[in-house]
Amino acid sequence: MENKNFQVNLQGLIDLLSNHLYSDAGVFIRELLQNGMDAITARRRLGHQFDAKVTVELYGSHTLAFHDNGCGLTASEIEQFLARIGSTTKKEQLDAADDFIGQFGVGLLACFVVCDEIVLITRSALEGDPLEWKGRPDGTYEIRKLKNQVPIGTTVYIKAKADYEEYFDYYRVSELLEHYGEFLPVPIELVEDKHKRIVNEAVPPWRMEKKEALDYGEKLRYQRAMDVIPLHSAIGGIEGVAYILPYSVSLQEEKKHKVYLKQMLLSDKLNNILPQWAFFVNGIMNTDSLRPTASRESFQENELFYTVRDELGSCIKQYLIDLSARDPELFKRIIGVHYASIKAMAVEDDELYELFIRHLSFETSYGTMDMDTIMKEHSAVLLAATLDEFRQIARVAKSQELLVINGGYVHDFALVRKIPDVWENADVALLDILQFSNRFQELDRADQLEVEPFLALSDELLQPHQCRSAIRWFEPADVPVLYNTNEEVQFLKLAEQSEKEANPLFADIVHVVMDELYDVPYARLCYNYNNPMVRKAVACKDPKLQQVCIELLYTQSLLMGHYPLSQEELRLMNGSLLQFMNMGLDQAVGGEA
């Protein structure tokens, strides 16, 4: 018997495995399963006929035996795979062998995370001598031939070190075996005393009929998916399913897809195997071709990986296109659940935009309508940039038979601007809120002459409030005035008000901003000549009474539009109200006398 040393800093490597490479100590079960599966694959390549099997047996004192009837190891292979961890020869062999899952040497060392000694007994399918290998975390190991015969294959014995006993309990081992090996094509038998159980009899969901796959997803997630989408990638060797979630999710929420490599669980928290826009699905899939990282908990993000991701995204898109024709009601329900996030992704992706835009709903001056209906009934639309602008004219626009879409909600403005990309004859015009009243019917020459004094007085009174006056004939008649403003006007009003209250430095900044504007904007107060009260105010010959009417109509329009009133505007409103009340009271008292 000869004592030898590993050709690596084993203590450092174990620290790397336990503290940095693997996310959980229980991953040693996965590594042992991978080694067993690779050994079985290697023996099958030799042409042997045998009933492949992995057996995990638990003993007292938290000891575990992991047996496979794969190809076993020769003395030279033990030296190569276990003593020269991560050797070039082994890596080259695995690079060329697509059927292998992991790297035997590195994987076996994961056991040192939970134990202080590894005992491996093996007999090669190529040579008859049974061998025993013992390795320790101090870097020493020993190899000896055994006198007793053992079956072809490999058995690994490990005993839990302090603080890791839970990983050797029956239910924990059973849980880990099912977690990692649920869909492995080789039976995995768990044995304790005389109790035996096969832990991996499940059929993977990508090989199930649709109803069975939905049932499986419901059992796994405790909620039934809205639908299940088959996933395929020829170049990535991928089979899988994507479950459409029955609840809305945020785009920022971490995605957790369950991915298998050669039917061994790689990760149940992989977040980048599907495109970012596929936020509304949870995927379960298996690949034979993508290359894992060193930890085998994710994939190397190379050109193949990105190509496969795009191919899987195309599967989801094509399924939704077919679903929109095959089951439009289900398609609409999916949009209803994931509406906000679908809008966000449709802005960024032209294919998704074309797929979803017809079915997305928007607030309009005619009520909430989906875009397909809007385009069938109104090829020309106006787009309000903000919710505030839309609210200013929504009621009046409908009376003018103008369809205005509210672009003030998140992503709606960008979505509507792209309408001509899908409907070539669509005419989308950006609403100029300050010019909106120009669309109304103008007064005839005689009426224009009559209203000029009233408008002049109105402009004079509203000049300090950065507002100008107009008068038109429009519907509905019960709207006496229409106040239109935009963010620029509101900013300048706020700046002017702040200038009076702020320090000199801020006042200088305000002046710089205003000096940069070649044309200072004004809000627009448009009087409705179709309104009886406005007609009376215009016809009134008392300038004092006209002033009160103008001040009241202006301040009331601000209140109706939910605009904050400055101190001056508040004083204006209160003063005009009191004057109006006094006039009415004086008239009433005079009439009684």
pLDDT for the residue numbered 14: 58
Predicted local distance difference test score (pLDDT) of residue 86: 42
Give me 526's structure tokens. Answer: 């448009």
All CATH 3.30.565.10 domain ranges in the chain, comma separated? 2-198
- Report the alpha-carbon distance of residue 211 to residue 227 in Å, rounded: 10
CATH superfamily of 442-486+521-592: Heat shock protein 90, C-terminal domain (1.20.120.790)
The CA distance from 154 to 107, in Å, is: 14
pLDDT category at 315 given cuts 50, 70, 90 is very high
Amino acid 251: pLDDT: 73
Element (H, E) at 400: none
Band (383; pLDDT cuts 50, 70, 90):
very high
pLDDT for the residue numbered 359:
92
Amino acid at site 579: Q
Q: Which of 106, 108, 107, 129 is nearest to 120 (CA)?
A: 108
pLDDT tier at 82, thresholds 50, 70, 90: low
How confident is residue 95, by pLDDT bands cut at 50, 70 and 90? very low
**473 secondary structure, DSSP code:** B
Phi, psi of 325 (to 5 degrees): -90, -35
Q: Which CATH superfamily is domain 2-198 in?
A: Histidine kinase-like ATPase, C-terminal domain (3.30.565.10)
Determine the pLDDT at residue 85: 53
| pLDDT above 50 for 93 | no
The three-state DSSP-derived secondary structure of 17-82 is: HHHHHCCCCCHHHHHHHHHHHHHHHHHHHCCCCCCCCEEEEEECCCEEEEEECCCCCCHHHHHHHH
pLDDT over 80 at 104, yes or no:
no
Q: In the prediction, which pLDDT does 106 show?
A: 59
Structure tokens of 226? 């809205």
- Token representation of residue 306: 């990105």
| Pick from 135-139, 255-259, 414-418: least confident | 135-139
Instruction: Express each pLDDT in 264-286 by its tens digit.
Output: 999 998 999 999 889 899 999 99
- Residue limits of CATH 1.20.120.790 in the chain: 442-486+521-592
CA distance 227 to 331: 10
pLDDT band at 139 (very low <50, low <70, confident <90, very high): confident
Measured between its terminal Cα atoms, the distance across the chain in Å is: 131
Residue 89: band (very low, low, confident or very high) from pLDDT cuts 50, 70, 90:
very low
Residue with token string 């609403």: 431
532 or 78, higher pLDDT: 532
Give 496-549 pLDDT, tens digit per residue: 665 555 555 555 665 565 555 546 788 999 999 999 999 999 999 888 899 999
Of 529, 534, 557, 533, nearest in space to 441 by CA: 529
Best CATH choice for the domain 205-330 from the list 3.30.230.80, 3.30.230.10, 1.10.287.1770, 3.40.50.300: 3.30.230.80
Between CA 409 and CA 344 the distance in angstroms is 11
**What is the C-alpha to C-alpha distance for residues 216 and 202, in angstroms, rounded to an integer?**
10
> Mean pLDDT across the stretch 553-574?
87
Q: pLDDT at residue 313 above 70?
A: yes
Q: What is the DSSP pairing of strand 238-244 with strand 281-287?
A: antiparallel
Name the region of 233 (left: φ>0; alpha: ψ -120 to 50; beta: rest): beta
Three-state secondary-structure class, residue 475: coil
pLDDT of the residue at 201: 81
Average pLDDT, the chain: 86
Give me the pLDDT at residue 317, please: 92
The proportion of the chain whose per-residue pLDDT surpasses 70, expressed as a percent, equals 86
Residue ranges in 481-531 assigned as alpha helix (H): 487-501, 504-516
Distance CA 482, CA 484 (A): 6
pLDDT in tens, 453-484: 999 999 999 998 889 999 999 999 999 999 99
What mean pLDDT comes out for the span 305-334?
94
More confident residue, 20 or 52: 52
pLDDT at 459: 95
Tokens 């080259």 locate to 92
Say which residue the tokens 């305000």 belong to. 510
Residue 87 in this model has a pLDDT that exceeds 50 = no
Nearest in space to 269 (alpha carbons), one of 287, 278, 257: 257
Mean pLDDT: which of 14-18, 102-106, 243-247, 389-393 is highest?
A: 243-247
Question: Are 482 and 392 in contact, with CB atoms under 8 Å apart?
Answer: yes
DSSP 127: -
Q: Which of 382, 537, 513 is nearest to 457 (CA)?
A: 537
pLDDT at 91 over 60: no
The CA-CA-CA angle for residues 203, 207, 211, to 5°, reads 90
Q: In whole angstroms, what is the distance from residue 80 CA to residue 92 CA?
A: 13
Kindly report, as residue ranges, where domains of CATH 3.30.230.80 are found in the chain: 205-330
Q: With 80 as the cut, is the pLDDT of residue 385 above it?
A: yes
For 186, 221, 281, 508, the CA distances from 257, given in Å and listed in that order, are 24, 12, 9, 56
Task: Please tell me the distance from the alpha carbon of residue 253 to that of residue 280, in angstroms, as a whole number.
Answer: 11
Residue 534 to residue 439: CA distance in whole angstroms: 19
Model confidence band, residue 83 (pLDDT cutoffs 50, 70, 90) = low
